[in-house]
Structure 1
Amino acid sequence: MIEFKQALINEIEKLYKKKKAAAAVVLSLIFIVFGQIFISLVRNNFGVQGVSSSEFPLLILSIIINILLPLFVALVTIDSFCGEFSQNTMKITLTRPITRLKLYSAKIASICIFIFSILVLSMIFSIISGLIFNSNSFNLSDIFKITISYIVTLFPMVILCLVIVLLANIFKNGIAVFFLSILVFIAFKSMEIFFPAYSGIFFTSMFGWYNLWIMDNIPLLKIFREFMMMLSYAIILYTAGYYIFDNKDF
Protein backbone atom coordinates (compact mmCIF):
# COMPACT_ATOMS: atom_id res chain seq x y z
CA MET A 1 0.00 0.00 0.00
CA ILE A 2 2.91 2.34 0.77
CA GLU A 3 4.34 1.75 -2.72
CA PHE A 4 0.97 2.54 -4.32
CA LYS A 5 0.62 5.73 -2.27
CA GLN A 6 4.08 6.94 -3.28
CA ALA A 7 3.41 6.09 -6.92
CA LEU A 8 0.08 7.94 -6.80
CA ILE A 9 1.69 11.04 -5.30
CA ASN A 10 4.37 10.89 -7.97
CA GLU A 11 1.81 10.61 -10.78
CA ILE A 12 -0.26 13.49 -9.35
CA GLU A 13 2.88 15.65 -9.19
CA LYS A 14 3.59 14.85 -12.84
CA LEU A 15 0.08 15.94 -13.83
CA TYR A 16 0.29 19.06 -11.68
CA LYS A 17 3.52 20.18 -13.33
CA LYS A 18 2.25 19.68 -16.88
CA LYS A 19 0.62 22.52 -18.78
CA LYS A 20 -2.28 20.38 -19.96
CA ALA A 21 -3.85 20.27 -16.50
CA ALA A 22 -3.54 24.03 -16.04
CA ALA A 23 -4.89 24.62 -19.55
CA ALA A 24 -7.95 22.47 -18.76
CA VAL A 25 -8.75 24.58 -15.68
CA VAL A 26 -8.21 27.89 -17.49
CA LEU A 27 -10.27 26.90 -20.53
CA SER A 28 -13.10 25.63 -18.33
CA LEU A 29 -13.16 28.92 -16.44
CA ILE A 30 -13.06 31.00 -19.64
CA PHE A 31 -15.79 28.86 -21.19
CA ILE A 32 -18.05 29.28 -18.15
CA VAL A 33 -17.54 33.05 -17.85
CA PHE A 34 -18.08 33.76 -21.53
CA GLY A 35 -21.05 31.40 -21.60
CA GLN A 36 -22.76 33.27 -18.77
CA ILE A 37 -21.96 36.65 -20.33
CA PHE A 38 -23.38 35.52 -23.67
CA ILE A 39 -26.61 34.29 -22.05
CA SER A 40 -26.96 37.56 -20.12
CA LEU A 41 -26.43 39.65 -23.27
CA VAL A 42 -29.01 37.64 -25.20
CA ARG A 43 -31.49 37.96 -22.34
CA ASN A 44 -30.99 41.71 -21.92
CA ASN A 45 -30.73 42.78 -25.58
CA PHE A 46 -33.11 40.40 -27.32
CA GLY A 47 -35.55 39.56 -24.55
CA VAL A 48 -34.83 35.84 -24.86
CA GLN A 49 -35.19 34.02 -21.57
CA GLY A 50 -32.47 31.46 -22.27
CA VAL A 51 -31.56 29.33 -19.26
CA SER A 52 -31.89 30.35 -15.64
CA SER A 53 -28.86 30.62 -13.39
CA SER A 54 -29.81 27.35 -11.68
CA GLU A 55 -29.93 25.59 -15.07
CA PHE A 56 -26.69 27.16 -16.31
CA PRO A 57 -24.33 24.76 -14.39
CA LEU A 58 -26.17 21.76 -15.89
CA LEU A 59 -25.89 23.28 -19.37
CA ILE A 60 -22.16 23.78 -18.79
CA LEU A 61 -21.83 20.19 -17.55
CA SER A 62 -23.53 18.84 -20.67
CA ILE A 63 -21.16 20.78 -22.93
CA ILE A 64 -18.02 20.03 -20.91
CA ILE A 65 -18.52 16.25 -20.80
CA ASN A 66 -19.17 16.08 -24.53
CA ILE A 67 -16.45 18.45 -25.74
CA LEU A 68 -13.80 19.82 -23.37
CA LEU A 69 -13.37 17.06 -20.79
CA PRO A 70 -13.01 14.14 -23.27
CA LEU A 71 -10.34 16.14 -25.08
CA PHE A 72 -8.30 16.79 -21.95
CA VAL A 73 -8.83 13.28 -20.61
CA ALA A 74 -7.40 11.97 -23.88
CA LEU A 75 -4.40 14.32 -23.77
CA VAL A 76 -3.58 13.60 -20.12
CA THR A 77 -4.04 9.84 -20.46
CA ILE A 78 -1.94 9.65 -23.61
CA ASP A 79 0.79 11.72 -21.99
CA SER A 80 0.75 9.51 -18.89
CA PHE A 81 1.23 6.31 -20.91
CA CYS A 82 2.42 6.98 -24.47
CA GLY A 83 4.55 9.91 -23.33
CA GLU A 84 6.51 7.70 -20.97
CA PHE A 85 6.67 4.89 -23.51
CA SER A 86 8.25 7.19 -26.13
CA GLN A 87 10.64 8.84 -23.65
CA ASN A 88 11.63 5.50 -22.09
CA THR A 89 10.92 6.90 -18.62
CA MET A 90 8.58 4.01 -17.82
CA LYS A 91 11.62 1.74 -17.51
CA ILE A 92 13.12 4.09 -14.90
CA THR A 93 9.86 4.14 -12.93
CA LEU A 94 9.74 0.35 -12.87
CA THR A 95 13.22 0.18 -11.32
CA ARG A 96 11.60 1.32 -8.08
CA PRO A 97 10.28 -1.32 -5.67
CA ILE A 98 6.78 -1.30 -7.09
CA THR A 99 4.76 -3.86 -9.00
CA ARG A 100 3.36 -3.12 -12.44
CA LEU A 101 -0.16 -3.52 -11.09
CA LYS A 102 0.36 -0.79 -8.50
CA LEU A 103 2.01 1.53 -11.03
CA TYR A 104 -0.76 0.93 -13.56
CA SER A 105 -3.42 1.53 -10.89
CA ALA A 106 -1.66 4.68 -9.64
CA LYS A 107 -1.61 6.16 -13.14
CA ILE A 108 -5.32 5.54 -13.63
CA ALA A 109 -6.12 6.83 -10.12
CA SER A 110 -4.21 10.07 -10.79
CA ILE A 111 -6.16 10.61 -14.02
CA CYS A 112 -9.42 9.98 -12.15
CA ILE A 113 -8.40 12.60 -9.58
CA PHE A 114 -7.67 15.00 -12.45
CA ILE A 115 -11.14 14.35 -13.92
CA PHE A 116 -12.83 14.83 -10.55
CA SER A 117 -10.89 18.06 -9.94
CA ILE A 118 -11.99 19.51 -13.28
CA LEU A 119 -15.61 18.56 -12.56
CA VAL A 120 -15.53 20.11 -9.07
CA LEU A 121 -13.85 23.31 -10.27
CA SER A 122 -16.30 23.61 -13.18
CA MET A 123 -19.18 23.13 -10.76
CA ILE A 124 -17.87 25.81 -8.39
CA PHE A 125 -17.17 28.27 -11.21
CA SER A 126 -20.60 27.76 -12.79
CA ILE A 127 -22.44 28.12 -9.47
CA ILE A 128 -20.53 31.29 -8.60
CA SER A 129 -21.23 32.64 -12.07
CA GLY A 130 -24.93 31.92 -11.63
CA LEU A 131 -24.99 33.56 -8.20
CA ILE A 132 -23.27 36.68 -9.53
CA PHE A 133 -25.60 37.16 -12.48
CA ASN A 134 -28.88 36.03 -10.91
CA SER A 135 -28.77 34.86 -7.32
CA ASN A 136 -32.57 34.91 -6.91
CA SER A 137 -33.05 31.84 -9.12
CA PHE A 138 -30.90 29.65 -6.86
CA ASN A 139 -32.07 27.61 -3.89
CA LEU A 140 -30.60 24.77 -1.83
CA SER A 141 -32.46 22.14 -3.84
CA ASP A 142 -30.91 23.41 -7.08
CA ILE A 143 -27.41 23.42 -5.58
CA PHE A 144 -27.93 19.85 -4.32
CA LYS A 145 -29.01 18.67 -7.79
CA ILE A 146 -26.06 20.41 -9.42
CA THR A 147 -23.62 18.86 -6.93
CA ILE A 148 -25.01 15.36 -7.46
CA SER A 149 -24.91 15.81 -11.25
CA TYR A 150 -21.24 16.76 -11.30
CA ILE A 151 -20.19 14.04 -8.85
CA VAL A 152 -21.91 11.12 -10.60
CA THR A 153 -20.52 12.27 -13.96
CA LEU A 154 -17.14 11.02 -12.75
CA PHE A 155 -18.20 7.40 -13.40
CA PRO A 156 -18.80 7.58 -17.19
CA MET A 157 -15.71 9.76 -17.61
CA VAL A 158 -13.63 7.06 -15.90
CA ILE A 159 -14.91 4.59 -18.51
CA LEU A 160 -13.70 6.96 -21.25
CA CYS A 161 -10.33 7.14 -19.49
CA LEU A 162 -10.06 3.33 -19.42
CA VAL A 163 -10.91 3.12 -23.13
CA ILE A 164 -8.06 5.52 -23.93
CA VAL A 165 -5.72 3.69 -21.53
CA LEU A 166 -6.40 0.47 -23.42
CA LEU A 167 -5.67 2.16 -26.77
CA ALA A 168 -2.52 3.78 -25.34
CA ASN A 169 -1.20 0.36 -24.31
CA ILE A 170 -1.98 -1.17 -27.69
CA PHE A 171 -0.47 1.66 -29.75
CA LYS A 172 2.60 3.43 -28.40
CA ASN A 173 2.29 6.41 -30.75
CA GLY A 174 0.52 9.23 -28.92
CA ILE A 175 -0.77 10.96 -32.07
CA ALA A 176 -2.24 7.72 -33.38
CA VAL A 177 -3.95 7.06 -30.04
CA PHE A 178 -5.33 10.61 -29.93
CA PHE A 179 -6.94 10.44 -33.36
CA LEU A 180 -8.10 6.87 -32.79
CA SER A 181 -9.73 7.99 -29.52
CA ILE A 182 -11.60 10.72 -31.42
CA LEU A 183 -12.74 8.21 -34.04
CA VAL A 184 -13.93 5.76 -31.37
CA PHE A 185 -15.81 8.56 -29.59
CA ILE A 186 -17.48 9.72 -32.82
CA ALA A 187 -18.26 6.14 -33.84
CA PHE A 188 -20.05 5.38 -30.57
CA LYS A 189 -21.93 8.68 -30.72
CA SER A 190 -23.00 7.86 -34.29
CA MET A 191 -24.15 4.38 -33.30
CA GLU A 192 -26.37 5.97 -30.65
CA ILE A 193 -28.17 7.80 -33.48
CA PHE A 194 -28.35 4.98 -36.02
CA PHE A 195 -29.11 2.22 -33.50
CA PRO A 196 -31.26 3.93 -30.84
CA ALA A 197 -32.64 0.60 -29.63
CA TYR A 198 -29.13 -0.43 -28.54
CA SER A 199 -27.88 3.00 -27.43
CA GLY A 200 -27.99 1.95 -23.78
CA ILE A 201 -25.05 -0.41 -24.19
CA PHE A 202 -22.72 2.23 -25.67
CA PHE A 203 -20.51 3.88 -23.06
CA THR A 204 -20.99 7.34 -24.61
CA SER A 205 -24.73 7.18 -23.88
CA MET A 206 -23.87 7.03 -20.19
CA PHE A 207 -22.46 10.56 -20.27
CA GLY A 208 -26.00 11.74 -19.56
CA TRP A 209 -26.30 9.45 -16.52
CA TYR A 210 -26.56 12.47 -14.24
CA ASN A 211 -30.00 13.32 -15.69
CA LEU A 212 -31.46 10.26 -13.96
CA TRP A 213 -30.33 11.57 -10.57
CA ILE A 214 -32.12 14.92 -10.83
CA MET A 215 -35.52 13.72 -12.02
CA ASP A 216 -38.55 14.33 -9.80
CA ASN A 217 -39.13 10.58 -9.57
CA ILE A 218 -35.66 9.04 -9.48
CA PRO A 219 -35.62 5.76 -11.52
CA LEU A 220 -33.54 3.70 -9.11
CA LEU A 221 -33.75 0.55 -11.22
CA LYS A 222 -32.47 2.32 -14.33
CA ILE A 223 -29.70 3.97 -12.33
CA PHE A 224 -28.66 0.59 -10.93
CA ARG A 225 -28.77 -1.00 -14.40
CA GLU A 226 -26.54 1.70 -15.91
CA PHE A 227 -24.19 1.52 -12.93
CA MET A 228 -23.78 -2.22 -13.43
CA MET A 229 -23.16 -1.60 -17.15
CA MET A 230 -20.43 0.91 -16.32
CA LEU A 231 -18.95 -1.44 -13.72
CA SER A 232 -18.80 -4.18 -16.35
CA TYR A 233 -17.09 -1.82 -18.79
CA ALA A 234 -14.61 -0.78 -16.07
CA ILE A 235 -13.68 -4.35 -15.12
CA ILE A 236 -13.22 -5.46 -18.74
CA LEU A 237 -11.26 -2.38 -19.85
CA TYR A 238 -9.11 -2.25 -16.72
CA THR A 239 -8.24 -5.94 -16.98
CA ALA A 240 -7.51 -5.80 -20.72
CA GLY A 241 -5.37 -2.68 -20.33
CA TYR A 242 -3.39 -4.15 -17.44
CA TYR A 243 -2.85 -7.45 -19.28
CA ILE A 244 -1.21 -5.58 -22.17
CA PHE A 245 0.71 -3.26 -19.81
CA ASP A 246 2.00 -6.21 -17.78
CA ASN A 247 3.25 -8.04 -20.87
CA LYS A 248 5.07 -5.06 -22.38
CA ASP A 249 8.82 -5.21 -22.73
CA PHE A 250 10.01 -1.76 -21.68
Structure 2
Amino acid sequence: MPSITAGVWNETIKLASRKKTLFFLAVMIVLPVAAGILLSRFQSGIGIGAIASRDFPILMLNLFTMVFLPLFVFMGAADVFSGEQGDRTLKLVLTRPVSRFKVFASKQLALALYIALYLVAGLLASTLSALLFQQTSGIGMILDGLLAYGAAIVPLIVLSIAATFLAQFFSSSSTALTVSLLLYVAFKVMAFFLPQLATYSPTAYTDWHMLWLSGSLAGSKLTSIFMFLAACSILFFTAGFYVFDKKEI
Protein backbone atom coordinates (compact mmCIF):
# COMPACT_ATOMS: atom_id res chain seq x y z
CA MET A 1 0.00 0.00 0.00
CA PRO A 2 2.74 2.59 0.69
CA SER A 3 3.84 2.38 -2.94
CA ILE A 4 0.27 3.00 -4.14
CA THR A 5 -0.02 5.96 -1.78
CA ALA A 6 3.25 7.38 -3.06
CA GLY A 7 2.17 6.70 -6.63
CA VAL A 8 -1.16 8.48 -6.18
CA TRP A 9 0.63 11.45 -4.64
CA ASN A 10 3.10 11.54 -7.51
CA GLU A 11 0.35 11.38 -10.13
CA THR A 12 -1.65 14.03 -8.28
CA ILE A 13 1.33 16.40 -8.31
CA LYS A 14 1.93 15.75 -12.01
CA LEU A 15 -1.69 16.58 -12.83
CA ALA A 16 -1.55 19.69 -10.64
CA SER A 17 1.45 20.96 -12.62
CA ARG A 18 -0.56 20.98 -15.84
CA LYS A 19 -2.26 24.22 -16.82
CA LYS A 20 -5.30 22.27 -18.01
CA THR A 21 -5.95 21.03 -14.48
CA LEU A 22 -5.90 24.52 -13.00
CA PHE A 23 -8.02 25.82 -15.87
CA PHE A 24 -10.80 23.32 -15.20
CA LEU A 25 -10.67 24.08 -11.48
CA ALA A 26 -11.03 27.79 -12.27
CA VAL A 27 -14.00 27.03 -14.52
CA MET A 28 -15.71 25.04 -11.76
CA ILE A 29 -15.39 28.04 -9.44
CA VAL A 30 -15.82 31.04 -11.73
CA LEU A 31 -18.65 29.75 -13.92
CA PRO A 32 -21.24 29.38 -11.11
CA VAL A 33 -20.33 32.82 -9.75
CA ALA A 34 -20.66 34.47 -13.17
CA ALA A 35 -23.87 32.58 -13.90
CA GLY A 36 -25.28 33.56 -10.50
CA ILE A 37 -24.57 37.26 -11.11
CA LEU A 38 -26.09 37.21 -14.61
CA LEU A 39 -29.14 35.25 -13.49
CA SER A 40 -29.71 37.58 -10.55
CA ARG A 41 -29.60 40.65 -12.78
CA PHE A 42 -31.81 39.03 -15.39
CA GLN A 43 -34.46 38.00 -12.90
CA SER A 44 -34.45 41.37 -11.16
CA GLY A 45 -34.79 43.04 -14.56
CA ILE A 46 -37.87 41.07 -15.61
CA GLY A 47 -39.29 41.01 -12.10
CA ILE A 48 -39.86 37.27 -11.94
CA GLY A 49 -37.77 34.29 -11.01
CA ALA A 50 -36.93 32.31 -14.13
CA ILE A 51 -35.00 29.75 -12.11
CA ALA A 52 -35.59 28.94 -8.46
CA SER A 53 -32.48 29.50 -6.35
CA ARG A 54 -32.86 26.01 -4.91
CA ASP A 55 -32.43 24.60 -8.42
CA PHE A 56 -29.34 26.65 -9.28
CA PRO A 57 -26.66 24.23 -7.92
CA ILE A 58 -28.36 21.33 -9.74
CA LEU A 59 -28.55 23.36 -12.95
CA MET A 60 -24.80 23.99 -12.75
CA LEU A 61 -24.15 20.32 -11.99
CA ASN A 62 -26.04 19.30 -15.13
CA LEU A 63 -23.72 21.54 -17.14
CA PHE A 64 -20.63 20.23 -15.37
CA THR A 65 -21.47 16.56 -15.85
CA MET A 66 -22.57 17.00 -19.45
CA VAL A 67 -19.61 19.02 -20.75
CA PHE A 68 -16.80 20.16 -18.48
CA LEU A 69 -16.08 17.15 -16.30
CA PRO A 70 -16.23 14.58 -19.13
CA LEU A 71 -13.85 16.80 -21.08
CA PHE A 72 -11.45 16.89 -18.13
CA VAL A 73 -11.75 13.12 -17.73
CA PHE A 74 -10.85 12.53 -21.38
CA MET A 75 -7.98 15.00 -21.29
CA GLY A 76 -6.63 13.62 -18.03
CA ALA A 77 -6.76 10.00 -19.20
CA ALA A 78 -5.12 10.92 -22.50
CA ASP A 79 -2.33 12.83 -20.75
CA VAL A 80 -1.42 10.32 -18.03
CA PHE A 81 -1.44 7.31 -20.35
CA SER A 82 -1.19 8.14 -24.07
CA GLY A 83 0.73 11.36 -23.50
CA GLU A 84 3.29 9.79 -21.20
CA GLN A 85 3.75 6.90 -23.57
CA GLY A 86 4.30 9.27 -26.48
CA ASP A 87 6.92 11.40 -24.73
CA ARG A 88 8.63 8.33 -23.19
CA THR A 89 8.13 9.39 -19.56
CA LEU A 90 6.00 6.31 -18.91
CA LYS A 91 9.02 4.15 -19.65
CA LEU A 92 10.92 5.90 -16.86
CA VAL A 93 8.07 5.24 -14.43
CA LEU A 94 8.01 1.54 -15.26
CA THR A 95 11.75 1.17 -14.60
CA ARG A 96 11.11 1.85 -10.91
CA PRO A 97 10.65 -1.08 -8.52
CA VAL A 98 6.86 -0.72 -8.60
CA SER A 99 4.48 -3.19 -10.22
CA ARG A 100 2.55 -2.16 -13.30
CA PHE A 101 -0.70 -2.72 -11.43
CA LYS A 102 0.25 -0.12 -8.82
CA VAL A 103 1.27 2.34 -11.52
CA PHE A 104 -2.01 1.79 -13.35
CA ALA A 105 -4.12 2.00 -10.18
CA SER A 106 -2.28 5.13 -9.01
CA LYS A 107 -3.14 6.97 -12.19
CA GLN A 108 -6.78 5.92 -11.93
CA LEU A 109 -7.02 7.00 -8.30
CA ALA A 110 -5.41 10.36 -9.05
CA LEU A 111 -8.04 11.06 -11.70
CA ALA A 112 -10.79 10.04 -9.26
CA LEU A 113 -9.39 12.43 -6.63
CA TYR A 114 -9.51 15.32 -9.08
CA ILE A 115 -13.07 14.47 -10.07
CA ALA A 116 -14.04 14.60 -6.38
CA LEU A 117 -12.12 17.88 -5.91
CA TYR A 118 -13.86 19.49 -8.87
CA LEU A 119 -17.27 18.40 -7.65
CA VAL A 120 -16.60 19.84 -4.20
CA ALA A 121 -15.42 23.11 -5.76
CA GLY A 122 -18.47 23.24 -8.01
CA LEU A 123 -20.84 22.53 -5.11
CA LEU A 124 -19.34 25.24 -2.93
CA ALA A 125 -19.25 27.82 -5.73
CA SER A 126 -22.80 27.15 -6.95
CA THR A 127 -24.27 27.04 -3.44
CA LEU A 128 -22.59 30.29 -2.41
CA SER A 129 -23.72 31.92 -5.66
CA ALA A 130 -27.32 30.92 -4.98
CA LEU A 131 -27.10 32.23 -1.42
CA LEU A 132 -25.40 35.52 -2.27
CA PHE A 133 -26.84 36.58 -5.60
CA GLN A 134 -30.36 35.19 -5.40
CA GLN A 135 -30.97 36.22 -1.82
CA THR A 136 -32.11 32.90 -0.50
CA SER A 137 -31.05 30.44 2.12
CA GLY A 138 -32.43 27.04 2.76
CA ILE A 139 -31.27 23.78 4.20
CA GLY A 140 -33.19 21.98 1.46
CA MET A 141 -30.98 23.47 -1.26
CA ILE A 142 -27.84 22.47 0.62
CA LEU A 143 -29.05 18.91 1.23
CA ASP A 144 -30.11 18.49 -2.40
CA GLY A 145 -26.73 19.78 -3.51
CA LEU A 146 -24.84 17.38 -1.26
CA LEU A 147 -26.91 14.45 -2.49
CA ALA A 148 -26.67 15.32 -6.18
CA TYR A 149 -22.97 16.23 -6.26
CA GLY A 150 -22.15 13.15 -4.19
CA ALA A 151 -24.06 10.88 -6.54
CA ALA A 152 -22.50 12.49 -9.63
CA ILE A 153 -19.04 11.15 -8.79
CA VAL A 154 -20.03 7.54 -9.56
CA PRO A 155 -20.71 7.77 -13.33
CA LEU A 156 -17.81 10.19 -13.78
CA ILE A 157 -15.36 7.74 -12.24
CA VAL A 158 -16.76 4.99 -14.48
CA LEU A 159 -16.28 7.33 -17.44
CA SER A 160 -12.67 7.98 -16.41
CA ILE A 161 -11.96 4.23 -16.19
CA ALA A 162 -13.45 3.73 -19.66
CA ALA A 163 -11.36 6.64 -20.98
CA THR A 164 -8.15 5.16 -19.57
CA PHE A 165 -8.98 1.83 -21.22
CA LEU A 166 -9.38 3.60 -24.55
CA ALA A 167 -6.17 5.57 -24.02
CA GLN A 168 -4.15 2.34 -23.94
CA PHE A 169 -4.52 2.01 -27.71
CA PHE A 170 -2.92 5.35 -28.58
CA SER A 171 0.52 6.87 -28.10
CA SER A 172 -0.69 10.40 -28.81
CA SER A 173 -2.74 12.29 -26.22
CA SER A 174 -4.45 14.39 -28.89
CA THR A 175 -5.59 11.29 -30.78
CA ALA A 176 -6.84 9.61 -27.62
CA LEU A 177 -8.72 12.78 -26.64
CA THR A 178 -10.28 13.16 -30.09
CA VAL A 179 -11.47 9.54 -30.24
CA SER A 180 -12.86 9.72 -26.69
CA LEU A 181 -14.81 12.89 -27.47
CA LEU A 182 -16.17 11.52 -30.72
CA LEU A 183 -17.36 8.34 -29.03
CA TYR A 184 -18.87 10.31 -26.17
CA VAL A 185 -20.80 12.57 -28.54
CA ALA A 186 -21.86 9.58 -30.65
CA PHE A 187 -23.28 7.75 -27.63
CA LYS A 188 -25.06 10.91 -26.47
CA VAL A 189 -26.62 11.37 -29.91
CA MET A 190 -27.55 7.69 -30.02
CA ALA A 191 -29.53 8.20 -26.82
CA PHE A 192 -32.04 10.30 -28.77
CA PHE A 193 -32.52 7.81 -31.60
CA LEU A 194 -31.91 4.48 -29.88
CA PRO A 195 -32.62 5.08 -26.18
CA GLN A 196 -32.98 1.37 -25.43
CA LEU A 197 -29.45 0.64 -26.65
CA ALA A 198 -28.03 3.78 -25.08
CA THR A 199 -28.95 2.56 -21.61
CA TYR A 200 -26.22 -0.06 -21.96
CA SER A 201 -23.58 2.67 -22.16
CA PRO A 202 -22.14 4.39 -19.05
CA THR A 203 -22.45 7.71 -20.90
CA ALA A 204 -26.22 7.45 -20.45
CA TYR A 205 -25.90 7.98 -16.69
CA THR A 206 -23.88 11.18 -16.41
CA ASP A 207 -27.09 12.79 -15.14
CA TRP A 208 -28.10 9.99 -12.80
CA HIS A 209 -27.91 12.44 -9.89
CA MET A 210 -31.32 13.64 -11.04
CA LEU A 211 -32.73 10.21 -10.21
CA TRP A 212 -31.67 10.68 -6.59
CA LEU A 213 -33.64 13.93 -6.41
CA SER A 214 -36.79 12.69 -8.13
CA GLY A 215 -38.09 10.87 -5.05
CA SER A 216 -40.32 8.69 -7.22
CA LEU A 217 -37.66 6.20 -8.30
CA ALA A 218 -37.63 2.94 -6.40
CA GLY A 219 -34.52 1.98 -4.50
CA SER A 220 -34.25 -1.22 -6.53
CA LYS A 221 -33.92 0.86 -9.72
CA LEU A 222 -31.08 2.89 -8.26
CA THR A 223 -29.43 -0.30 -7.07
CA SER A 224 -29.64 -1.90 -10.51
CA ILE A 225 -28.10 1.18 -12.15
CA PHE A 226 -25.33 1.26 -9.57
CA MET A 227 -24.59 -2.41 -10.15
CA PHE A 228 -24.45 -1.80 -13.89
CA LEU A 229 -22.00 1.07 -13.42
CA ALA A 230 -19.93 -1.01 -11.02
CA ALA A 231 -19.81 -3.85 -13.54
CA CYS A 232 -18.71 -1.43 -16.27
CA SER A 233 -15.94 -0.06 -14.06
CA ILE A 234 -14.67 -3.55 -13.23
CA LEU A 235 -14.70 -4.62 -16.89
CA PHE A 236 -13.00 -1.48 -18.18
CA PHE A 237 -10.45 -1.49 -15.35
CA THR A 238 -9.59 -5.15 -15.92
CA ALA A 239 -9.37 -4.77 -19.69
CA GLY A 240 -7.39 -1.55 -19.40
CA PHE A 241 -4.87 -3.06 -17.02
CA TYR A 242 -4.52 -6.17 -19.20
CA VAL A 243 -3.57 -4.03 -22.20
CA PHE A 244 -1.32 -1.84 -20.03
CA ASP A 245 0.43 -4.86 -18.53
CA LYS A 246 1.08 -6.49 -21.92
CA LYS A 247 2.18 -3.29 -23.60
CA GLU A 248 5.78 -2.97 -24.78
CA ILE A 249 7.05 0.43 -23.69
TM-score (norm 2): 0.96
Aligned residues: percent identity? 29
Are 1:107 and 2:116 matched, yes or no?
no
Structure 1 residue 189: deviation in Å? 0.5
* 1:76 to 2:97 alignment: no
* Of 212-221 and 200-209, the range deviating more from structure 2: 212-221
What's the secondary structure of 1:170's corresponding residue? coil
What residue in structure 2 maps to residue 171 of structure 1? 170
Letter in 1 for 2:73: V
Q: Give 4+ residue runs of structure 1 displaced > 3 Å after superposition.
A: none
Counterpart in 2 of 1:57?
57
Aligned residue number for residue 35 of structure 1: 35
Paired position in structure 1 for 2:94 = 94
CA distance in 1, matches of 2:120, 2:42: 27
- Comparing 105-114 and 195-204, the one that deviates more: 195-204
**3-state secondary structure, aligned to 1:201:** coil
Distance 1:6 1:196 in 2: 43
Match of 2:155 in 1: 156
Secondary structure, aligned partner of 1:51: coil
Q: Deviations over 1:71-102 (max 9, x none)?
A: 11111221111121011111111122210001
| 1:53/1:133 contact within 8 Å kept | no
Determine the C-alpha separation between the residues in 2 that align with 1:87 and 1:196.
40
Retained in 2: the 8 A contact 1:8–1:106?
yes
CA offsets, 1:120-148, max 9 Å, x none? 10000001111111343x32222111111
What is the rounded CA distance, in whole Å, between the counterparts of 2:168 and 2:139 in structure 1? 44
Answer yes or no: is the 8 Å Cα contact 2:164–2:240 preserved in 1. Answer: yes
Q: Distance in 1 between matches of 2:25 and 2:173?
A: 22
Look up the match of 1:228.
227
Structure 2, gaps ≥5 residues long: none
Structure-2 separation of matches of 1:199 and 1:17: 36
Count of residues in correspondence between the two structures: 249
Answer yes or no: is the 8 Å Cα contact 2:54–2:140 preserved in 1. Answer: no
Q: Does structure 1 retain, via aligned residues, the 8 Å contact 2:36–2:134?
A: no
Give, in whole Å, the separation in 2 of the partners of 1:240 and 1:2.
25
Q: CA deviation at 1:218?
A: 4.7
Counterpart position of 1:208: 207
Measure the CA separation in 1 of the matches of 2:41 and 2:200: 40
CA RMSD between the two structures: 1.3
Residue deviations 1:139-194 (CA, integer Å, cap 9, x gap)? 22221111111011111011211121111101112111111111111111111111
Name the residue aligned to 1:44: 44
Q: TM-score, normalised by structure 1?
A: 0.95
Q: Is the 8 A contact 2:190 2:198 kept in 1?
A: yes
8 Å CA contact retained: 2:40, 2:134 = no
Q: CA contact under 8 A between 2:53 and 2:134: conserved in structure 1?
A: yes
Alpha-carbon distance between aligned partners in 1 of 2:122 and 2:8, rounded to the nearest angstrom: 24
Q: CA deviation at 1:109?
A: 0.2
Note the 1:123-202 alignment, pairs <5 A: 123-136=123-136, 138-202=137-201
Change in Cα spacing, 1:28 to 1:15, as seen in structure 2 (3 Å) is: same
Contact 2:81 2:168 in 1 (8 A): yes
